[in-house]
Structure 1
Amino acid sequence: MTGTVTVGPLCLCRQVKDSSVKRGYFQKSLVLVSRLPFVRLFQALLSLVAPEYFDKLAPCLEAVCSEVDQWPAPVPGQTLNLPVMGVVLQVHIPSSADKPESGPPKQCSHKNLLPAPVVLTSVHELDLFRCFRPVLAHVQLLWELMLLGEPLLVLAPSPAVSSEMVLALTSCLQPLKFCCDYRPYFTIHDSEFKEFTTRTQAPPSVVLGVTNPFFIKTLQHWPHVLRIGEPKMPGDLPKQVKLKKPSRLKTLDTKPGLYTAYTTYLHRDKALLRRLLKGLQKKRPSDMQTAVLRRHLLELTQSFIIPLEHYMASLMPLQKSITPWKTPPQIHPFCQDDFLRSLEHSGPQLTCLIKGDWLGLYRRFFKSPHFDGWYRQRHKEMAQKLEALHLEAICEANIEIWMKDKSEVEVVDLVLKLRERLVRAQGHQLPVKEATLKRARLYIETVIGSLPKDLQVLLCPP
């Protein structure tokens, strides 16, 4: 999910030989536009719908839409049975209580379900290991590129591989929100084609997934290009793409590789690759391999973000400085130099064994869209918390004593401000307890009751 909502297509193509066509075959495609949180569900739906769609076209989609329209609303923490085209998809809707490093939740009993359901262990998480198989040796480099919001072109052999690789890349920063643009399947027909291919300005912070080799020639000026070869058999580890200089990216038949001049700030964790290779040798299931890889990326991101969270928390004014009848104090500004100095005692080295130039990585991160997105969100949350604490301070004070020497204008102003905060709090924009909300409503009634009748009529809702 692209400050902004990002959507991307999931595609399934069918080619049929046809000598009457210049290209030698006739091709049909079915594209579903899916929001990232439900990508696995849409993949399963696509695999069921596509074969029927190619034969029956619109009537097939109408029937499927009618069935999907009857599905219950997704509720976090629940497991749903979703019938479609004679099949039952059983899915668990994740909740905030689910731990990222834990295994998939247990599914419901199948006893009363005919036919037996197709169980999806996740509605949103891709098979990360399968997606990253050809680039396992460079996962940490790709993680840095994503963290820094670097423009990246992914050239894949099919729309499915393109979409999955782009979505895997954008999900590897969890729990940090991905704040850049991304297009899982981009074509020359997209409206931004001219914008992305122009050489008069630097490439934007976007991850593009494409299948047309024409982009190799058109986007030679991009700093990072990942070309993926044809998928290999599930039991084999495909040949790892090699790091190559961008200057070698000249022809349409460019070989698979990661074409970049980027030098990583952090040293590669060789133990991760050895562990994954050992898992392949022991024929460890792909979902277990994915769990290992996802946990590694999660811990790496958390080690990077925790010092930022700790420093940001120190910018919050002390609760004792919040008084009822004065404007609440401001959040202290984020000083990059102060933060970098704090890393000596509270940096990533406390939670991560990976060595490298962490300070250089943070300095580069400060210029990325992800720092701006993270900071804006945290500052907004802290401002809401500060406003909630101020409302609590007001509700704990003696309102009648405050009103004794106040003019009607000041009293009316208090009523309006309390109402505004009450509306925001009730809309879940402020983290306020229910007891505080009740006290605020009582305060409003008390204050209005102290005013002349004409003002009471104006302030009381009809």
Structure 2
Amino acid sequence: MNSIERAVSQQIIRERANSEREEMVKAILPWDKFSQWLHCVCVITFDLELGQALEFIYPTHIKLSDKEKMNICYLSFPDSNSGCMGDTQFNFRIRQTSGKTNSHLSVRRKEYDRNSPLILQSDTSHLFGFVYFRQVKDKTSRRGYFQKSVVLLSRLPYINLFTDLAELIAPEFFDKGEQLIEAACHDIDQWLNPVPGDTLQLPIMGTVLQVKVPAKGDLKLGAMGIPRDTVQPMGSPLTVVPSLHAAETFMCLQPVLPHIQLLWELVLTNEPLVIMGPSPGITCGTVHALINTMSPLKYMTDYRPYFTIHDSEFKEYTTRTQGPPSVILGVTNPFFAKTLQHWPHIVRIGESIGDKSKANKPKKPGSLKTLESKPGVYTQYKPFLSKDKTIIKRLAKGIQSRRPYEVQDAMLRRYLLELTQSFMFSLERYVTSLMPLQRNISPWKHPPRLKTFDVEEFLQTVEHSGPQLTSGLKGDWEGLYRRFFKSANFQGWFQNREEEINQKLLLLHLEALSEADLLQWCSDKEEVEIVDLVLKLRERLANIRELNLPVKPELIQKLHQGSEAIIHTLPEDLRGVLKK
């Protein structure tokens, strides 16, 4: 077999593999739909001999590693149960170690991720756990208490939806037992897949949850969802979930509002941050609210809404042999006040997240000795930007006048969104300048790619077209950019933009190919060059399928016809090989 035939044969094998994969995707297996939403549901109980233990898991075919089981068991109970009588809800995030998703599920998930905002894409390396913990007195128990948690595990960061779902399922399970979990999972296995842009009605246990799945671009105007005043038919069991993920930013960050810009800078630049609070519900709410301060940018390093001394990463995150990692930890155990006092930035939240902190100045980290320290921010970090006292005063007046929390929350989120957009506007503008001109795109050359990002070249543009044009804040914007460029948040953002732009350039190249006179080009070319063009056309058509590119059917048809026309110009033996 000569080199041309070998290349053609390899191309045909690739095309057959793609075709087989597409057929596999179309086949819906048991629990496929369930797996698009949840990984599994666990019930954790307290065993007098074993401590926290996994009672059962559903669906039963799901396998968890020993490390995952241990982490889930410890994270499913509050670190200290003494003050948690009744029902408590919170969430956690752990590393996944139990293997990869089935390939056909992965294909669907990739399609979801391509069309979803970055902050709502599935997490391939972590699992989110949504806990509903119940502790009540029980005379029949040797311990004297009934202690059990229902935990929903998912790769999707749908904080609000899955918190609401746990609130529906868990109380019914406590009353009716294991069969209730089984019935609820079968309900979820009937749900339509989460498709970005769709509004879905999700039946569960006699009620219906209505959700809007945001598409890419939706979150640029803030946390888009279904309005709270959505009209519902009389007597309808419909429950509207206004947003899949948006945190209650104002409620959770009210104790540290005077430091909101400082915290925004710390989160934006991936600084190590520990949140100390009295309960997992408060810490996880605060961690999610902090990550949301930089929306619609995605926080690119690790974060743990609730973290305990039993976590498998405890030593990795608390060692003093090296600097603290770029992670946000939410902790409740007083032990952490001593273990993490070397961390550069610590936020202490009081008993009630609705209590306003009176501490207006950040304190030095060394002044935090115990968990009983006053609420506030403990850091020596000096913000690059001057404080915007206007927003703080407006929110403070809102507290005094008892302005509704929803309004306060909308004001704060809008302010943070505009601050982030002002910061990113110059970067977006500069990246656009790195794109090659459309007139330089040739159908006979490889698709062009985005030019290299030059930090110094970008910084020269800040003085004349920087954030000061859209934001009233003064300060060292250049210094903040330099710090941002060293962070994973920048690397993740730029990698995503680079992929998007290169994909757009590929589309422009495809359009140029479809409009080109391929037969005229082939008229004076060698056979090997013509075969190479045929293979490149097939590769471009494969790219369209693999990347799910938004290409018009007419363009695809033109490329197919062009490929066939070229093949007919070749000798019969080569035509036979190419058509196999």
The equivalent of 2:313 in structure 1 is: 192
| Aligned equivalents of 1:247, 1:5: Cα separation in 2 | 34
**Alpha-carbon deviation of 1:46?**
1.9
SS of structure 2 residue aligned to 1:296:
helix
- Contact in 1 for aligned 2:363/2:379 (Cα 8 Å): yes
Indicate yes or no: 2:445 matched with 1:326: yes
Are the structure 2 counterparts of residues 240 and 73 from structure 1 closer, same or farther at C-alpha, using a change threshold of 3 Å?
Answer: farther
Of the three residues 270, 284, 292, the one matched with 1:171 is 292
Q: Which moved more, 1:52-61 or 1:39-48?
A: 52-61
SS of 1:244's partner is coil
Residue matched to 2:170:
50
Q: State whether structure 2 residue 228 is matched by structure 1 residue 110.
A: no
Amino acid at match of 1:100: L
Contact 1:103 1:291 in 2 (8 A): no
- Which amino acid counterpart does residue 450 of structure 1 have in structure 2? T
Structure 1 residues 55, 259: closer, same or farther in 2, change over 3 A?
Answer: farther
Question: Which residue pairs with 2:410 in the alignment?
Answer: 291
Distance in 2 separating the partners of 1:338 and 1:321? 23
Q: Which moved more, 1:94-103 or 1:336-345?
A: 94-103
How far apart are 1:264 and its partner, in Å?
A: 0.6
Q: Are 1:9 and 1:184, in contact at CA under 8 Å, matched by a contact in 2?
A: no
1:437 alignment partner, one of 549, 556, 561: 556
Indicate which of 187, 192, 216 corresponds to 1:67. Answer: 187
Q: Which amino acid aligns with 2:204?
A: V
Does the 8 Å contact 1:241/1:258 carry over to 2?
A: no
Pairwise CA distance, 1:267: 1.1
Deviation (angstroms), 1:325? 1.5
TM-score (normalised: structure 1): 0.90
Write the deviation string for residues 413-454 of structure 1: whole angstroms up to 9, x where unpaired: 111111111111233454544433222111111111112222
**Offset at residue 221 of structure 1 (A):** 2.2
Structure 1: gaps (5+ residues) = none
Greater mean deviation of Cα atoms: 259-268 or 322-331: 322-331
After superposition, the Cα gap between the structure-2 partners of 1:23 and 1:304, relative to the gap in structure 1 and judged at 3 Å, is: farther
Aligned partner of 2:183: which letter? A
Distance in 2 of aligned mates of 1:197 and 1:13? 27
Deviation string for 1:95-121 (max 9, x for gaps)? 446462487544654226444x33322
Correspondence for 1:204: 325
Letter in 2 for 1:263: K
Report what 2:109 is aligned to: none
* Aligned-pair CA distance for 1:246: 0.9
SS at match of 2:188: helix
1:125 aligns with one of 246, 249, 263: 246
Q: Which is worse superposed, 139-148 or 208-217?
A: 208-217
Q: Specify which of 211, 223, 231 is matched with residue 352 of structure 2.
A: 231
Which residue does the alignment assign to 1:153?
A: 274
Tell me if 1:15 matches 2:135: yes
Which TM-score applies when normalising by structure 2?
0.73
Pairing of 1:265-414 with structure 2 (within 5 A): 265-414=384-533
| Structure 1 residue 166 displacement after superposition | 1.3
* 2:211 partner SS: strand
The superposition leaves residues 197-234 of structure 1 with CA deviations (integer Å, 9 ceiling, x where unpaired) of 1111222211112222222222222211112111256x
- The answer to whether structure 1 residue 144 and structure 2 residue 265 are counterparts is yes
RMSD between aligned residues: 2.8
Q: Is the 8 A contact 2:278 2:350 kept in 1?
A: yes
Alpha-carbon separation, structure 1, partners of 2:509 and 2:253: 48
Gaps of 5+ in 2: 1-120
Does the Cα contact within 8 Å between 2:288 and 2:305 map onto a contact in 1? yes
- Describe the SS at the equivalent of 1:13: strand
